[in-house]
Amino acid sequence: ATEAEEKDLVIIGGGVAGYVAAIKAGQEGLKVACIEKRGTLGGTCLNVGCIPSKSLLNNSHLYHTIMHDTKNRGIEVGDVKLNLAQLMNAKDTSVSGLTKGVEFLFKKNGVEYIKGTGSFASEHEIKVQLNDGGETSVVGKNILIATGSEATPFPGLEIDEKKVVTSTGALALEKVPEKMVVIGGGIIGLEMASVWSRLGAKVTVVEFLNQIGGPGMDTEIAKQAQKILKKQGIEFKLSTKVVSGDGSGEKVKLDIDAAKGGKAETMEADVVLVAIGRRPYTAGLGLENIGMELDERGRVIIDQEYRTKFPHIRCVGDVTFGPMLAHKAEEEAVAVVEYIKKGYGHVNYGCIPSVMYTYPEVAWVGQSEQDLKKAGTPYRIGTFPFSANSRAKTNLDTDGMVKMIADPETDRLLGVHIIGANAGEMIAEGTLALEYGASSEDIARTCHAHPTLAEAFKEAAMATYSKAIHF
């Protein structure tokens, strides 16, 4: 490559990690190129993850509410029909609007967008197989690997994205299945189970552990969530493992085994969703050409400044350590560009919120009660139920609670766990408090507007070091 073609930063992957790093690098005046093979920017999150799932969750919730929860509110509705094709169109419109928005931001910030598959030719040179045919190459002083993750397959059960689907197929089913089985009661499993159950499918979630919600969710909250989701019609088989499956017939067959003794049985479904986790994606990246190692789970190994064993090659997002979350990828993307440009950056990994966008939502930040118990850390808990919150009562939306955990000596906040209608928005306050090292009393003495759901947050804080007023 000639001198003119050398970039300050070449990014492989245009997902949240890659595109945010590209924009930030452009803003910092770096000469930057971003290689993405999908044909659109935004990665898993915008194309087949966060965004389309939230569109389906929002609109299926509206549909379900109109079908089942209007009469007692004094609203009589007539003939309600589901138009699944239009529901999917609405989702596609949100996705394309956002992915094009990122492309616009690339232009605005002088990012060169290369549509193709990148692979290492050498430690500084990336060969690109262009989507439109042909090949090019680009040389970078710095290189950022941001190639993300993919669904972990279930051994022996072939994914066709029609009958046996990952989340990608579950976001685009052409009709509502009569029976759906979800393997894995983590966040993907529960969000997708909610969507299709609300639209009329009979959904069973099979989970290996004795708790839903995947890693990190507070056990007390997970139990409440399960109870509420069950009331909505989702069935659960916990402590149960899918051992094998067969998708060759008209129905998909699954052999399941109770993890702790119990009876083995066979389940049948029209659609099976495999949601047993995601794994780092590095296929076709040519890491072997430069002798880059992965850890035992396929993650690119990095140090605290996101450097691989080659200091000019860094890595962020789902393809490396940490929770596979879009906002985590985004924080890292900003920090990594700051390291490259200024030599310092920072992400507080103890303070990354998680949200499950079921109804009600479940959101948390910091440590769970079971984490603290396991570590032998002393703690004090304050809770407040939404059934005692005035706004939740006026909204006829009283399921759930706020649970706050603080240090019994210093009152410093250790964790916040919310299940409730607006938990995903409300957790921002907990995250800020945790980031600032607040005590529960700091929160309780902050005036909260009335009547809001956020008052439940304030009262849970009061209950942590003293007593709540309304409960």
Active site members: 450
Least Å distance between CB 205 and ligand FAD?
15
- 200 contributes a contact to ligand FAD by CB under 6 A: no
Quote the CA–CA distance of 441 and 314 in Å, as a whole number.
41
Distance from C-alpha of 209 to C-alpha of 276, rounded to nearest angstrom:
11
Distance in Å, CB of 424 to ligand NAI, minimum: 8
Applying CB under 6 A, what is the total number of residues that bind ligand FAD?
A: 36
186 binds, options ligand FAD, ligand NAI, none, Cβ within 5 to 8 A by partner type: ligand NAI
Contacted entry of ligand FAD, ligand NAI, none for residue 439, CB cut-off 5 to 8 Å set by kind: none
Nearest by Cα to 225 from 469, 468, 75, 401: 401
Looking at beta carbons only, is 267 or 325 nearer to ligand FAD? Answer: 325
The item of ligand FAD, ligand NAI, none sharing an interface with residue 209, based on CB under 5 to 8 Å by kind, is: ligand NAI
Measured at the CA of 22, the angle between CA 20 and CA 28, to 5 degrees, comes to 105
CA nearest 13: which of 53, 41, 48?
41
Do 335 and 305 touch, CB atoms closer than 8 A? Answer: no
188 binds ligand FAD (CB under 6 A): yes
Contacting residues for 171 by C-beta, under 8 A, at least 6 apart: 48, 52, 53, 56, 91, 192
Residue nearest to ligand NAI (CB): 186
Q: Interface with ligand NAI by CB under 6 A: which residues? A: 183-189, 191, 206-209, 214, 241-242, 275-278, 323-325, 354-357
Site for ligand FAD in 302-341 (CB under 6 A): 317-318, 324-327, 329
Q: How far is it, in rounded angstroms, from Cα 159 to Cα 164?
A: 5
- What is the secondary structure of 227-254 as a DSSP string? HHHHHTT-EEE-SEEEEEEE-SSSSEEE
Do 15 and 317 contact (CB within 8 A), yes or no?
yes
| Residue 209 near residue 184, CB atoms below 8 Å | no
> Taking CB within 5 to 8 Å according to partner kind, which of ligand FAD, ligand NAI, none is near residue 356?
ligand NAI
Instruction: Please identify, among the stretches 23-31, 57-65, 257-265, 277-285, the one whose residues bind ligand FAD according to the rule CB under 6 A.
Output: 277-285
Query: Given the rule CB under 6 A, which of 46-54, 105-113, 243-251, 437-445 is the region that contacts ligand FAD?
Result: 46-54
> 268, 243, 260: which is closest to 209 by C-alpha?
260
Whole-angstrom Cα distance, residue 271 to residue 328? 31
* Minimum CB–partner distance for residue 6 and ligand NAI (Å): 36
Which 5-24 residues touch ligand FAD, going by CB under 6 A?
A: 12-18
- By the criterion CB under 6 A, which residues form the site for ligand FAD? 12-18, 35-38, 43-45, 49-50, 53, 117-119, 146-149, 167, 188, 281, 284-285, 317-318, 324-327, 329
